[in-house]
């Protein structure tokens, strides 16, 4: 597995964990509180937490190539920062292998 694939798979795992966190919050009707999520960067050792409102989270999840990361956690060879917020950044995967992994591992796409 090359570096692009490894980063993509790490991000996909973190995204999947955050989907489960969002599911649990919904099951307990925690719809007003911010979601306490894990950084979706490609560093498998990252343990940083990020806080997003449900609307912010849903906006990101609407595009399988977008990921929420802690500020400064961009991998510039596979993604670019498309939004900067005070609590997190949003990155978009570049076309090619990074974008394909993001699409095929999207838990909301029904794959």
Q: Residue 111: what pLDDT?
A: 57
Per-residue pLDDT tens, the chain, 111 aa: give them.
Answer: 888 899 999 999 999 999 999 999 888 887 788 999 999 999 999 999 999 999 999 999 999 999 999 999 999 999 999 999 999 999 999 999 889 999 999 998 865
Q: What is the pTM of this model?
A: 0.89
Give me the residue spans of the domains in the chain. 3-104
Cα 31 to the chain's mean position, in Å?
Answer: 19
């Amino acid at each position: 597995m090359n570096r692009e694939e490894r980063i993509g798979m790490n991000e996909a795992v973190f995204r999947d964990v955050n989907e489960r966190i969002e599911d649990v919050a919904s099951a307990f009707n925690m719809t007003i509180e911010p979601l306490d999520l894990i950084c979706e960067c490609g560093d498998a050792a990252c343990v940083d937490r990020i806080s997003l409102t449900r609307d912010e989270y849903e906006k990101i999840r609407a595009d399988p190539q977008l990921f929420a990361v802690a500020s400064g956690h961009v991998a510039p060879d596979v993604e670019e920062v498309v939004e900067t917020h005070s609590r997190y950044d949003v990155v978009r995967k570049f076309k090619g292998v990074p974008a394909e992994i993001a699409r095929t591992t999207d838990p909301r796409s029904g794959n």
